[in-house]
Chain A
Amino acid sequence: MQKIRTISDLEDIRESILQDKDSEKTIIRLCLSTGCRAQKSLKVNEALENEIKKYGLQNKIEIKKTGCHGFCEMGPIMVIEPANIFYCNVKPKYAGDIISETVLNGNVINRLLWKDPLTKELTKTEKDFPVYRKQRKNVFYNSGKIDPTDIDDYIAAGGYSALGKALATMTPPEIVKTVVDSGLRGRGGGGFPTGIKWRICSAAPGDIKYIIANGDEGDPGAFMDRSLMEGDPHAIIEGMIIAAFAIGANQGFIYIRKEYPIAIDHLSIAIKQAEECGLLGNDILGTGFNFTIKIDRGAGAFVCGEETALMISIEGRSGIPRSRPPYPAFEGLWGKPTVINNVETFANIPKIILKGADWYSSIGTSTSKGTKIFSLVGKVRNTGLIEVEMGTTLREIIFDIGGGVRKGKRFKAVQTGGPSGGCIPISRIDMPIDYDSLKDAGAIMGSGGMIVMDETSCMVDVARYFINFLLFESCGKCIPCREGLKQMHHILTNICEGLGEKGDIERLEELAHFMMATSLCGLGGTAPNPVLSTIRYFRDEYDAHIYDKKCSAGVCKNLFEYVIDAELCNGCTICKLKCPEKAISGEKKKPHSINPLLCIKCGICFNLCKREAIRVK
C-alpha cells in the first residue's frame, strides 16, 4: 500500500492500480456478507480455493470476496466475470463444476441459475433479473463488486476522488452549499436536511467539533446499514472525511451495533488502510487538514440509535436521551458542536460532490431527493435489499421488484419504519414513497425496513409485538413512555388473549395521543404509530378479537383452533408422529383429527402438512 501524499498522487496511484490489474485473470465475485455467510459461503470459498489449487490456476483465477448483492435469500451468491454469470444457492460441492465447466469451458450451469418462480425462466446475469430492473443503484453500487477489505479496489472504482475534488477545488462553505442544494435528507429516519445540519454546525462557535456516523441500526427488519458497512465501508469513511472538512472537525466516531461483527471488522480494516495511505490522520493529501476516526461498539440498547442517547453512550454512560434543544449541531458530544448522520447519509456524499447538486436533486420527488435503500422482507417472494429512486410506488416495490406475496397468499399490509413506523394497507399501494407521503399515511420512512404481511399476519399481534419491543427498550426516564407503553401492552395483550373489552380501542387511542404529545424523545413520541396505524386501517381485526374472540390469521393462540380438513387429509400420519403432545389421532390412510384439549398450538403439524389439510378455525 502506497502513501498518498497529494491529490495528484491519488490519481497516479489509481492509474497504477488499474494498470496492474491482470485483465487475463478470471474473477469470481463471491459474496461473504452476513446473509451469504449464514448460508455457508465461507465453505464455498474454501472449496473453490481447493479446486483452483488442484488445477494449478492460482495465477489465472481470482476469488474476490465481496459484500452484499441484495438478493440474500438466494445465497450464497457469486458472479463470474467477464460474462457476469450470476449463480445462486451455490453449495461447496458445486465448486469443481464451476471451475471446470464455467471458468475453463465457458459453459453455464443451469441448475445454479435463478429460476423465476412464476415464469420458470432462467436468468443468466444480474442485469436480466426482474428484481434489478426497476432499481437504481447509486449508493449500493460498489457493494457486491469490490472487495471491501481492499482499499485499492475502492480506489480503482473511483473511490476517494470526491475527497480529492473537495479538498482541491472546494471551500468548506461550497461543500456545505452543494449538500444543501442537493436536497439530501437524513437516511436514519428523521429526514432532516443534511446540508442544513452541516451549516448550523459549521456556524456554531467553538474550535473542537465532532462527526459521528450512526451505524446503530436497531430497527428490526432493516439491514441496509449493515450491508453498506460490510460491503462498501470506504464510501462511509470518504463521506465522513468530506463532512469533517466542511464543518471543521478533526475527530470522528462510528457507532456500530455489536450484533454486526462483520461490519465492525470491515470498517476497522478500512480505517486502518485509510490511515496507512494517508487518507486519515495528519495532513490529509497535503492540505494540512487532520482527521481521525474511532469505532465505538454498541451494547444492545435500541434507544442508543437516538442521537442524544448515542452520544451519551460514546461518553461511556447509560444511553438515556436528553431533551432537545440544544441540538447536537450546537451542543453534542462532550458539549461540542457535532454532526451526527446515518451511515447511509454519509455514503451518499461522495457521489453528490463528484456529480454535483443538480444531478442529485434531479433524482426523486419534489421533497425527497436521491435514491433510498430498502430492505424488502416478510411474506414477499423476492426478499433482500433494493435501492430505488424516491417516488417509486409501493406497488412497484412489492409486486414488480418483490414479485408479490409468497405462496399465492393475499397481500394485507406493509410495515415501514420499524417500531416507530406504521402499517400501510392495500388501499394505499399506489402511493409514491417519500418522507412526506409515508408520514401522511401514518408511517415513517425510518431507516428503510419494509416488512410485507399477508393474511397469516395478525395486525393486533403486530401492534403488540412493536409495543412489547419498545417496552423493553424504553430507557424509563420519562413517565409517558415508560408507563404509557406498559398500559398499551397490557391492553393489547388482553385483546390478543381474548380478554379484550369494549372501550379498549378508545383507551389505546387516548394513551397514544398523550404519549405523542408528552414523551421526551423520538422513541416514546413515535411509539404509538404501529398501534394507531393498525387501528386506522384494520379496525375490523381489533373488533373481531374483542367481540367475536377470533383471530382469523391464526396467530393469537387463545382465539383459534387447528382443525384437519377430512377431505384433504390422506392419512400420511406425519402430523401424528411429530405432534409433541400426542394430540392427533387417526389410522393410516384415513383422515386424522386433532384433540383441541391436548393441542398446544405449537404449529408443527401446520407447517409439516404438505397437503395443507390443517387449517385455522
Chain B
Amino acid sequence: MDIEKVDRILEEHEYRHSAIIGIMQDVQDIENYLPEETLRYISDKLELNLTKIFDVATFYKAFSLVPRGRHTIKVCCGTACHLAGAARNLDQVERTLHIKAEETTDDRMFSIETVNCLGACALAPVVVVDEDYYDAVKPGKIEKILSYYRSESER
C-alpha cells in the first residue's frame, strides 16, 4: 500500500495507539485487506508492538489478513434470515462457487462472508453482493444473482 496514504491515515488518527482499530479499518477500506508490510509499517510508526496489532487484527471478524475477491457475497445468517432459510442459500452459494464461507475463489472474483445480522430482518433472507441488497432470496435465485456479477466483470 502507498506509504503516503498510510501516513495520511495515521495523521488523521493523531498517531494514537487507542485508534489502532480505526486505523486498520481505514487501511482495509482502501486495500480490501490488511497487507502485512503495511501493518509492519504502522507498528514502526506508532511504536506499537506488532503482536499487539496482530492480536487486534485477528480478534475482530471484520479484518482480513488475506486479499479478498472483487465481489463480496454476504449471506446474512441472523435469526430472522436463518428461519427463512439462510443456511440453504449459503449451501447454494458454496456449491455454485465451489468454495466455503470465508473463502475466496481462485480467480479472486468472489469471496463469501457470513454476517450475523444486517438489520434488514423484515426482508429476510437477505444476501448482499458488494452494496446491492437482495431480499427474500430463495436457493433457486442464487445462480442468477451470481452470474450477473460474473458477466458484469467481463464487460
- Residues 250-269 of A at the B interface (beta carbon under 8 Å): 258-260
Contact: A603 with B85, CB < 8 Å? yes
For the complex formed, measure the closest distance between the CB of B96 and the CB atoms of chain A, giving whole angstroms. 9
Query: A-B contact count, CB below 8 Å?
Result: 146
Q: Are B80 and A299 in contact (CB under 8 A)?
A: no
Shortest A443–chain B CB gap in Å is: 13
Alpha-carbon distance A49/B61, docked complex (angstroms): 40
Contact with B along A594-607 (1 / 0, CB 8 A): 00000000111001
Q: Counting CB contacts under 8 A, is A144 at the interface? A: no
Give a binary string over B5-41; 1 marks a CB under 8 Å from any A CB, 0 the rest. Answer: 0000000000011111110110000000000000000
The answer on a CB contact under 8 Å between A313 and B123 is no
Task: A580 to B21: give the CA distance in the assembly, Å.
Answer: 43
Interface residues contributed by chain A, number (CB under 8 Å): 59
Residues in A neighbouring B19, C-beta threshold 8 A:
316
- Assess A220 versus B117: contact at CB under 8 Å? Given A318-B56, A384-B122: yes
Q: Which residues of A contact B92 (CB under 8 A)?
A: 602
Smallest CB gap from B58: residue in A:
A318
With A223-B119, A258-B25, A602-B139 as known contacts, state yes or no: A379 contacts B83, CB within 8 Å. Answer: yes
Find the B residue at minimum CB distance from A449.
Answer: B79
Query: Quick check: is B124 within 8 A (CB to CB) of the other chain?
Result: yes
CB pair A299 B18 closer than 8 Å: no
B85 lies within 8 A of A377 (CB) = no
**A272-327 interface with B by 8 A CB criterion:** 296-302, 313-320
Within 8 A of A (CB), among B64-104: 77-85, 88, 91-92, 95
Would you call A480 an interface residue if the criterion is a C-beta within 8 Å of the partner chain's C-beta atoms?
no
CB pair A35 B122 closer than 8 Å: yes
The answer for the CA separation of A449 and B124 in the assembled complex, in Å, is 14
Among A227, A465, A473, max chain B CB count under 10 A is at A465
Chain A's closest residue to B124 (CB) is A377
Flag whether A588 is at the interface (Cβ < 8 A): no
Interface positions, chain A 177-212, Cβ under 8 Å from B, are: none
> Known interface pairs A300-B60, A378-B83, A415-B79. Does A316 touch B17 (Cβ–Cβ under 8 Å)?
yes
Question: Are the C-beta atoms of B62 and A300 separated by less than 8 Å?
Answer: yes
Give the docked Cα–Cα distance between A298 and B133 (Å).
21
By the criterion CB–CB under 8 Å, are A223 and B25 in contact?
A: no
A222 vs B118: C-alpha distance when bound (angstroms): 9
Q: Is B149 on the interface with A (CB-CB < 8 A)?
A: no
Q: Of the candidates B61, B81, B83, B138, which one forms a contact with A300 in the assembled complex, judged by CB atoms under 8 Å apart? A: B61
Are B140's CB and A38's CB within 8 A?
Answer: no
Q: A338 at the A/B interface (Cβ < 8 Å)?
A: no
**A488 on the B face (CB < 8 A):** no
- A607 to B139, Cβ gap below 8 A? yes
Task: Using A72-B123, A300-B63, A377-B80 as known contacts, list a sample of 19 further A-B pairs with CB atoms less than 8 Å apart, ordered by residue number in A.
Answer: A34-B120, A38-B133, A39-B133, A72-B120, A221-B117, A221-B121, A258-B25, A296-B21, A299-B25, A300-B60, A313-B21, A320-B59, A378-B79, A383-B80, A383-B121, A451-B80, A607-B85, A607-B139, A608-B138
Q: Which 6 A-B pairs have the closest CB atoms?
A: A220-B78, A38-B133, A223-B119, A299-B60, A300-B61, A72-B122
